[in-house]
Structure formats: structure tokens, C-alpha cells
Amino acid sequence: MFLWVIQRDLLLAMRRRFDILTTLFFFVIVVSLFPLGIGPEINILRTIAPGVVWVAALLASMLSLGRIFSNDYLDGTLEQMLISPQSLSLLVLGKALAHWLITGIPLILISPLLGIQYNLPLDAILILALSLLLGTPILSLIGAIGAALTLGLRGGGMLVSLLVLPLYIPVLVFGSGAVEASAVGLGAGAHLSLLGAFLLIALVITPWATASALRISME
């Protein structure tokens, strides 16, 4: 069932490619506008690059949070998941993983090209991609909780942002901090280790919390 949920969500996403492209284009446009607006000052671009890329990735991830459970809610699939003998937490984990594969992986793949716009050194670009690889799954896992709590509510998109944004701040701080430390010649190991710890905690806690939120919302 875990693999079925992932395969199903990926198949549905491929049928609605516009949703994937919207998230990716938003990320690319936001990151690309800053060099045009600031100008060719290399030192300034290198300084702001980690924060700009990470804020853009965070906002791009939030754009698609409402679609994690909404389609399943509308067509009745979510009700079948709730009464299924399979673990709801495991199914929720599969949906969060599918969301990350759909939204997070494209951002990670395009990030090295965007880092070149800011004249980041090669080491910093690699750390940027690695920090996104560790951080974007956390965004999907935490975002699933907010999507479950606001399921079926009018204006749920705004409520999701208000709920999950405070929880995103540590990921944003340590993700951008890793790139910044690498760009100035300091080690990024501490920041990446903390991101890895956050990811492990999220993998343990968020599926259970999301499953509980879904049961509350469906009642």
C-alpha cells in the first residue's frame, strides 16, 4: 500500500504536469529576479544567495501543500484510506514522499544552475544542493500536517501558510546557514548534521501527527 500510494500520486501528477511546472517556474523566477534587480555586485550576490534560494524553495513548496490531500478528499479515496486495515501513518508517509518527489526533486536538480547566477563557488553550490536534499523532505513532512488540519476548509491555503511557516524557520535558518558557511570557507557539517537530525525527527513524528489530523478533519 505504501508503494501504491506513491505510484498513484506520481501517476496523477504526471497527468497534471502544469502543477509541477508552476512550482518549478515560481522557484526559478523568484531566484532569477534578484540578480537582475541588485546588479552584478559579486560580493552582494554571494551574500544573499543562500537566503534567496532557500526562501524561494520554501515558498515554492508551500504552493502545492493544499494538493496533498485535497483530491483524495474530493473523490472519496481518503475515506477509504481511513477505514483501510493498513496503517494510516504509513500511507500518509507515502503521500508526503510523493509530494517531495514531485516538488522537491525538481528544485534540487535546478538549484546548481541557479547558484551559478550568484557566482557561488563550486563547493557552496554542492552544499546548496545537499542542504536542499536534506531540507525539502522536512518541508513536505511538516506541510502535510498543515494540509491535513485545514482539509475541506475555505481559505485553507492561507491557513496552511500560517500553521507551517513557524515550523519551517529552523529548516530555513540551518539550510541557508550551511551554504553561507561553505561560501566563506567555514565547514557546513554542523548545519547539515542538524538538518539530518530534523529529518529523522520529522520522519518519526509527522506521519503520526498527520494521521491524527486527518481523522480530526474527517470527523
Give the span between the Cα atoms of 218 and 130, in whole angstroms: 37
Segment 22-45 mean pLDDT: 85
Cα gap 154→84, rounded to integer Å: 27
Phi first, then psi: give them for residue 152, nearest 5 degrees. Answer: 80, 0
pLDDT single digits (tens) 97-115: 998 998 889 999 998 998 8
Burial group, residue 110, by CB count within 10 angstroms (0-12, 13-18, 19+): middle
Grid cell, residue 90, equals 504509513
Q: Considering the chain, what percentage of its residues have pLDDT values greater than 90?
A: 24
211-217, long-range: CB < 8 A, 24+ apart: 211/88, 211/89, 211/92, 211/148, 213/145, 213/148, 213/149, 214/69, 214/78, 214/82, 214/88, 214/92, 214/148, 214/151, 215/82, 215/88, 216/149, 217/148, 217/149, 217/150, 217/151, 217/152
Q: Look at residue 156 in the predicted model and tell me its pLDDT.
A: 61
Q: Which residue has the higher pLDDT, 112 or 39?
A: 112
Query: At a CB cut-off of 8 Å and minimum separation 6, what does 174 contact?
Result: 131, 135, 191, 194, 195, 198
- pTM beyond 0.75: the answer is yes
- Whether 138 has a pLDDT exceeding 90, the answer reads yes
Average pLDDT of the residues in 130-151: 89
Can you read off the three cell numbers belonging to residue 45?
550576490
Grade residue 141 by pLDDT with cuts at 50, 70 and 90: very high
* Exposure string over 56-68, b if 16+ CB within 10 A, otherwise e: bbbbbbbbbbbbb
Q: 164-194: per-residue pLDDT in tens?
A: 888 899 999 999 888 888 877 777 888 999 9
Q: Which residue has the cell 529529518?
A: 199
Instruction: List phi, psi (to 5°) of 120.
Output: -75, 145
